[in-house]
């Protein structure tokens, strides 16, 4: 649709103040100016109308050049109808100069000013024997004022553009700082939740250990003392012992989450740690019906980290990926060097994660698995945080997930990452 016929576009590009200001100015000039012939009034009306719509013209490609040429043509037409170089409307040549100064660079504005001055001087050849003739100083002053105004306009526009760029850069920096602040606030809130839940888990696990031991010992003793014919009671005692073992395993995970980690860092090859984790997954009982592919980067040299804990991280991520994958699915474990960080990516083609759950998956006790506890990823995230690293996840429901672990390879990288987290 033609934007001049679209009311929304008209409201966007044609402001009421433009109509009022330019309309009043050119109406007053047409009514009170030194020359009120039909030709001059028509030229003034066209110039005022174009000035009011200039914002729309400037929005199109090469709009500054189009605006300059159009206004210079209308100004030359007006001067041609009103005594040419002796016209008392000579000041309208300021309008195309203003357009050039505000929309063009220094070179373009300079060329535009020279063109305006040349057009004005060409009216000397239009002079007739009965026309008013200006003296040379008057012509010189009229020509001189044009480049002065053009230069000042360009300097002012350049200063405004510089300020706009500075304001934009400052706004982007503030937005980035605000994003980091929000991330830091989220990390602090998460740390507070982890600390509170850790204390609760530690206290609860400690209190449960003793009665669980008593229950298991009693069930085992009961099973030994039952008559061989009492199969139901013996089976019930076995159930009690099995459930106690499962509960004790859960308590152990609570303690793992609650207790502070003591990293044992040493120069370790990341590929070897991943290989051990994959071998552990392949020995999982019951086995997973998935294929695991490796894609290691040769650029990652050995660097200091806790190999045992990181093996646990990778093992948990691969197990989660296997549980999310369909039968005979594929999992890819990929590494690459990203700046001074080693990136480990565990990629599956499984069910994916709902977007509403993405921000909660690393929180303790959050799980979407039936029978899950929700501590696996929380412990993984805690281990990575202790290394000064970070985790990221990308997922699309029905298309799989990518869990990324970023580990700093230098002490300076770990320090900077920890400072950013604080």
Same domain? 301 vs 414: yes
pLDDT of residue 13: 57
Same domain? 322 vs 407: yes
pLDDT of residue 50: 75
**How far apart, in Å, are the Cα atoms of 139 and each of 31, 84, 110, 149, 381?**
27, 12, 20, 16, 80
Same domain? 230 vs 329: no
Hey, which bits of 221-339 come out as E strands?
Answer: 266-268, 290-295, 303-305, 329-338
Residue 280 falls within a domain, yes or no?
A: yes
Residue 408 falls within a domain, yes or no?
A: yes
**How far apart, in Å, are the Cα atoms of 177 and each of 46, 170, 183, 420?**
50, 10, 10, 11
- Gyration radius from the chain CA atoms: 40
Same domain? 7 vs 108: yes
Residues 113 and 79: beta-carbon distance below 8 Å: no
Interatomic CA distance for residues 209 and 193, integer angstroms? 24
pLDDT of residue 301: 93
Same domain? 288 vs 330: yes
Going by the DSSP 8-state scheme, the letter that residue 288 receives in this structure is P
Q: Which of 260, 270, 278 is nearest to 299 (CA)?
A: 270
pLDDT of residue 358: 80
Residues in Cβ contact with 333 at an 8 Å cutoff, skipping those fewer than 6 apart: 274, 278, 292, 293, 294, 295, 314, 318, 344, 345, 346, 347
From 224, 258, 292, give the residue that closes a domain.
258
Residues 408 and 417: beta-carbon distance below 8 Å: yes
Residue 170 falls within a domain, yes or no?
A: no
Distance separating the N- and C-terminal Cα atoms of the chain: 54
pLDDT of residue 126: 65
Residue 234 sits in a domain whose CATH number is 1.10.287.130
Q: At what angle do helices 106-122 and 63-81 cross, to 10 degrees?
A: 20
Residue 103 falls within a domain, yes or no?
A: yes
Residue 315 sits in a domain whose CATH number is 3.30.565.10
Residue 275 falls within a domain, yes or no?
A: yes
Same domain? 112 vs 187: no
List the domain range (segments joined by +) for residue 380: 266-421
Domain count, the chain: 3
Residue 311 falls within a domain, yes or no?
A: yes
From 258, 285, 303, give the residue that closes a domain.
258
pLDDT of residue 355: 84
Same domain? 129 vs 96: yes
Interatomic CA distance for residues 325 and 420, integer angstroms? 35
**How far apart, in Å, are the Cα atoms of 308 and each of 46, 228, 315?**
81, 45, 11
Residues in Cβ contact with 363 at an 8 Å cutoff, skipping those fewer than 6 apart: 190, 193, 374, 378
Residue 300 falls within a domain, yes or no?
A: yes
Same domain? 245 vs 344: no
Q: Which of 155, 43, 147 is nearest to 89 (CA)?
A: 43
In sequence order, the β-bridge partners of residue 406 are 343, 390
pLDDT of residue 196: 72
pLDDT of residue 95: 84
Give the number of other Cβ atoms within 10 Å of residue 56's Cβ: 17
Residue 202 falls within a domain, yes or no?
A: yes
- The answer, as to whether pTM is greater than 0.75, is no
pLDDT of residue 108: 86
pLDDT tens for the chain, residues 1 to 422? 444 445 555 555 556 666 676 767 777 777 766 666 777 777 777 777 777 777 777 667 777 788 888 888 888 888 887 877 777 788 888 888 888 888 888 888 889 888 988 888 888 776 655 555 667 788 888 888 888 888 888 888 888 888 988 999 999 999 999 988 988 887 787 777 767 766 776 677 667 777 877 887 887 777 777 666 567 777 777 778 777 777 777 777 666 666 666 788 899 999 999 999 999 998 887 888 999 999 999 999 999 999 999 999 999 999 999 988 999 999 999 999 998 899 999 999 988 888 888 877 877 666 766 656 667 788 888 889 888 899 999 998 888 999 999 999 876 555 555 444 44
pLDDT of residue 299: 92
């Amino acid at each position: 649709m033609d934007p001049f016929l679209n009311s929304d576009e008209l409201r966007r590009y044609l402001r009421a103040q433009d109509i009022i200001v330019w309309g009043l100015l050119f109406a007053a000039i047409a009514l009170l100016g030194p020359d009120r012939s039909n030709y001059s009034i028509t030229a003034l009306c066209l110039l005022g109308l174009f000035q009011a719509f200039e914002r729309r013209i400037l929005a199109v490609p090469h709009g500054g050049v189009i605006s300059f040429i159009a206004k210079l043509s209308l100004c030359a037409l007006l001067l041609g109808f009103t005594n040419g170089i002796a016209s008392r409307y000579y000041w309208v040549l300021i309008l195309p100069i203003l357009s050039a100064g505000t929309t063009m660079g220094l070179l373009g504005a300079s060329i535009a000013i020279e063109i305006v001055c040349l057009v004005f001087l060409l009216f000397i050849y239009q002079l007739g024997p009965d026309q008013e003739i200006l003296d040379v100083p008057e012509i010189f002053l009229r020509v001189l004022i044009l480049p002065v105004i053009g230069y000042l306009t360009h300097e002012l526009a350049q200063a405004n553009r510089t300020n706009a760029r500075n304001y934009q850069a400052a706004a982007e920096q503030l937005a980035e700082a605000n994003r980091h602040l929000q991330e830091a606030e989220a990390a602090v809130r998460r740390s507070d939740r982890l600390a509170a839940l850790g204390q609760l888990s530690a206290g609860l696990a400690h209190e449960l250990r003793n009665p669980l031991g008593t229950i298991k010992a009693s069930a085992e003793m009961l099973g030994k003392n039952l008559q061989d014919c009492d199969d139901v009671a013996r089976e019930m005692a076995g159930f009690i012992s099995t459930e106690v073992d499962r509960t004790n395993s859960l308590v152990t995970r609570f303690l793992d989450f609650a207790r502070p980690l003591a990293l044992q860092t040493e120069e370790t090859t990341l590929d070897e740690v991943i290989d051990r984790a994959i071998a552990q997954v392949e020995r999982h009982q019951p086995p997973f019906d998935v294929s695991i592919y490796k894609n290691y980067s040769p650029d990652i040299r050995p660097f200091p980290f806790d190999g045992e804990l990181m093996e646990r991280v990778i093992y948990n991520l691969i197990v989660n990926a296997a549980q999310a994958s369909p039968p005979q699915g594929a999992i890819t474990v990929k590494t690459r060097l990203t700046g001074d960080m080693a990136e480990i990516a565990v990629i599956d083609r499984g069910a994916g994660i709902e977007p509403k759950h993405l921000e909660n998956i690393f929180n303790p006790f959050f799980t979407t698995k039936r029978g899950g506890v929700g501590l696996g990823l929380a412990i993984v995230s805690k281990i990575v945080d202790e290394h000064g690293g970070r985790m990221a996840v990308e997922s699309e429901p029905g298309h799989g997930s990518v869990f990324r672990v970023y580990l700093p390879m230098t002490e300076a990288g770990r320090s900077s990452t920890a400072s950013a987290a604080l």
